[in-house]
Amino acid sequence: MGHTHTSTEMKLAKADALCSQKGLSLTPLRKRVLELLLEAGGPVKAYDLLAALKPDGTAQPPTIYRALDFLTQAGLAHRVEALNAYLACVHGHGDEIAELFICENCGTVREQHAPALPDHTPEGFEISRSVLEHYGRCAQCSTT
């Protein structure tokens, strides 16, 4: 059994624990979608996930969008806004939020934490959600 597979299983187990702790139910369908995201190791489009769920094409869009909504709400995945794609979250976030560095050459995404309150937030503005995405070339791709 390869390393990736084992790692995926561990992450799924962690997700299970996190969900039951929060009173959320990580159903087989939702878990399967998270597994697909983890296996992909990068951003995946909703319709690609849909096709992977049911290769015969019988799964309908709401199936995948509902699962993705759940996962993003639960903090187990992020939506990459400028790609219309979804990404498994690689580490729980507390107060901090996700900041993504997306390589346009090789497609890899590096996820980091960023402070919930950016510098120079306008006086009185209450942030409920932030989108922090940087596009460019990763170190690997820059040198070639």
Tokens for 25, please give them. Answer: 């139910």
Q: Does 53 bind Zn ion (CB under 5 A)?
A: no
Q: Does 144 bind a copy of itself (CB under 8 A)?
A: no
Q: Does 140 bind DNA (CB under 7 A)?
A: no
Residue 133 touches which of Zn ion, DNA, a copy of itself, none (Cβ within 5-8 Å per kind): a copy of itself
Q: Which is nearer to Zn ion, 1 or 139 (CB)?
A: 139
Site string for a copy of itself, 22-61 (x = CB under 8 A): ----------------------------------------
Give the C-alpha distances (Å, rounded to integers) separating 116 from 61, 93, 110: 32, 10, 18
Q: Does 63 bind a copy of itself (CB under 8 A)?
A: no
Q: Does 98 bind Zn ion (CB under 5 A)?
A: yes
Give the C-alpha distances (Å, rounded to integers) separating 86 from 1, 26, 41, 111: 26, 17, 11, 13
In the complex, least distance from residue 38 CB atom to Zn ion, rounded to whole angstroms? 13
Tokens for 102, please give them. Answer: 């997306």
Residue 112 touches which of DNA, Zn ion, a copy of itself, none (Cβ within 5-8 Å per kind): a copy of itself
User: What is the residue type of 136?
Assistant: G
CA distance 72 to 131: 13
**What DSSP designation does 90 have?**
S
Pair 79, 102: CB distance under 8 Å: no
Residues that bind DNA (CB under 7 A): 24-25, 27-30, 45-47, 58-63, 65-67, 70, 84
